Amino acid sequence: MGYKSVCIDCRKSLNRPLDTGSDRLYPCSLCGKPMTLLSHRFRPPKKTDDKKWETVKYLIENGFYYDHVYQKIETNCNGVTSYQNYATYPDNIRDAKEFVEKYKEQARK
């Protein structure tokens, strides 16, 4: 398993090997800006799909990097936390706004 390096501006995505502990930044070969590392679960939209790329950008800006997001998190009286059911990442901006609001406590800070 690895990462996807994504340039939102150029709409370019590359597979990267797992590089734990590295803070290395990968520059985009087209524009030179640092690419964003996303989970291997990310599936990039087509370059021409403006609405889906807008949704990806919105999710990243709000701390969602296509890591697992759980629909239900419960902590019982013993302090044991259980995570249930992965949430599905949205593919349109309207659903993305609801997703961010609903799962904001799971966003990266």
Is the domain of 60 the same as that of 30? no
What's the total number of domains in the chain?
2
Is the domain of 4 the same as that of 38? yes
pLDDT value at position 23?
A: 62
Which one has a higher pLDDT value, 49 or 77?
49
Structural domain range at position 64: 46-109
End-to-end Cα distance, the chain: 24
Is the domain of 95 the same as that of 62? yes
Lowest mean pLDDT across 21-25, 47-51, 55-59, 83-87: 21-25
Instruction: Return the structure tokens found at 103.
Output: 């799962």
Reference 27, options 40, 39, 16; nearest CA is: 16
Say which residues have a Cβ less than 8 Å from residue 84's Cβ, sequence separation at least 6. 70, 71, 72, 73, 74
Is the domain of 75 the same as that of 36? no
pLDDT value at position 71?
A: 85
Measure the CA angle with vertex 69, ends 46 and 2; round to 5°. Answer: 60
pLDDT tens-digit series, residues 34-55: 999 998 889 999 999 999 999 9
Is the domain of 103 the same as that of 54? yes
Is the domain of 81 the same as that of 38? no
